[in-house]
Amino acid sequence: MNRWLLPEDIADVLPAEARKVETLRRAILDLYQSYGYELVAPPILEFLDSLLTGTGSDLNLQTFKLVDQLSGRTLGLRADMTPQVARIDAHLLNREGVTRLCYAGSIAHARTPVGSSAREELQIGAEIYGCATWEADFEAISLLLKTLSVAQLSKVYLDLSHAGVLEGILDGQVTAKSDIEALYTLLQSKDRSRLAIWAQRLPAKSADALMALTELNGPCAQVLANAKKTLPKHKLIDEALAHLEMLVLATAAFSGDVELSIDLADLRGYQYHSGVMFAAYVDQLPQPIARGGRYDHVGQAFGRSRPATGFSMDLLTLASLAPLAQRKPAIVAPWIDDALLTSKIGELRLAGEVVIQVMAGDPVESAEYLCDRELVKQASSWEVKKK
């Protein structure tokens, strides 16, 4: 057995790419700080019941489980940081006003997600707590678009949906949690034949509305107009469509590089969304580069109801799509005991230069640095010369 082999769909991040990931991480977190977001770092392990509070069964299936040797309780290795950040807002910060939090950390999936080739991700995201209005959702969307702009991904396709539409259709119907999870799967796959069978348990008006959701997708104005004609009149549905309309107008005015669409059957995620939902796509990737939306019920599940909205993405995937950064120029210096040389190297490094010391005759092998200069002794001083 090769001891250096890694588990399936787990990989190392090698030089140059790792530097690009870290550079992006710093730039993105600085962007979030400029909006007033505070950085948090939840633990990678938690008690399982806390880690899965307020979430659906799909997150449970993606979570690695192990037994805590100290308490005997089951621990979970996080597969999503959003519930953890909601717990921090609800129980540790315990603020009354609007709170903006951001994060960047590793997550692991027990199963490789559909469309992905990795079970480990470096999740980065931002969340807004304490604001129930559409303005918070728009800030999350606009910040997501700016995040993709930092990675120089200019052409973005943003797909919108709203959990309130389905909630309005099912209002008053007693439906088991397992049945709702099956319904989500059918809507996501737009399996109309099986969806029609599932909908037989509902009144005809609700069943027809469910079937209509599978065809309510495409350009925003067209979908909204058709939804208003096709879907039943209901407060939750009307509010959801109005919410989407405001977001479409605001986002279109914010960025001319984003192509907007609506898919009212797109309810993917971890089944904790309670309002607007959005997914961002780019040309280089078949699956969404980022997902987000409103999830007010997660805080409620922690015992403190707080409006919440935000988004997250995999920074490793983002970095792989970002244009390759040029290799950083570096200076080669001899690896010898010389006080003047040591002093000169210190000055150069303080000035922001990369100085790599090597033994005489040794080559510099690096994917990250371009050694285009060298330190050469002239008389009693060391000078930087082009190679």
Under 8 Å CB-to-CB from 234, ≥6 apart: which residues? 168, 169, 171
Helices 204-213, 177-189: axis angle to 10 degrees equals 40
- CA-based max dimension of the chain: 94
Q: Is 261 helix (H, G, I), strand (E, B) or coil?
A: strand
Cβ pair 152, 221 in contact under 8 A: no
Give the pair of three-digit tokens for residue 116. Answer: 């992905």
Alpha helices in the chain (DSSP H): 17-34, 48-51, 57-61, 82-87, 134-150, 163-169, 177-189, 192-198, 204-213, 220-230, 235-254, 296-301, 315-321, 339-350
Give the C-alpha distances (Å, rounded to integers) separating 18 from 123, 319, 368, 371.
15, 9, 10, 19
Ligand-binding annotation for 81, yes or no, is yes
Give the C-alpha distances (Å, rounded to integers) separating 207 from 16, 69, 162, 314, 348.
54, 50, 18, 37, 71
The CA distance from 362 to 357, in Å, is 10
Give the pair of three-digit tokens for residue 162. Answer: 């709203």
Ligand-binding annotation for 82, yes or no, is yes
The CA distance from 276 to 11, in Å, is 34
Give the C-alpha distances (Å, rounded to integers) separating 339 from 56, 335, 342, 350, 356.
63, 12, 5, 17, 16
What is the DSSP code (8-state) at residue 326?
P
Q: Is 371 helix (H, G, I), strand (E, B) or coil?
A: strand
Give residue 344's identity as a one-letter amino acid code: K
Rg of the chain taking only CA atoms, in angstroms: 26
The closest alpha carbon to 213, from 181, 189, 245, belongs to 189
Which residues does the annotation place in the binding site?
A: 80-82, 123, 127, 268
Which residues does the annotation place in the binding site for L-histidine?
A: 80-82, 123, 127, 268
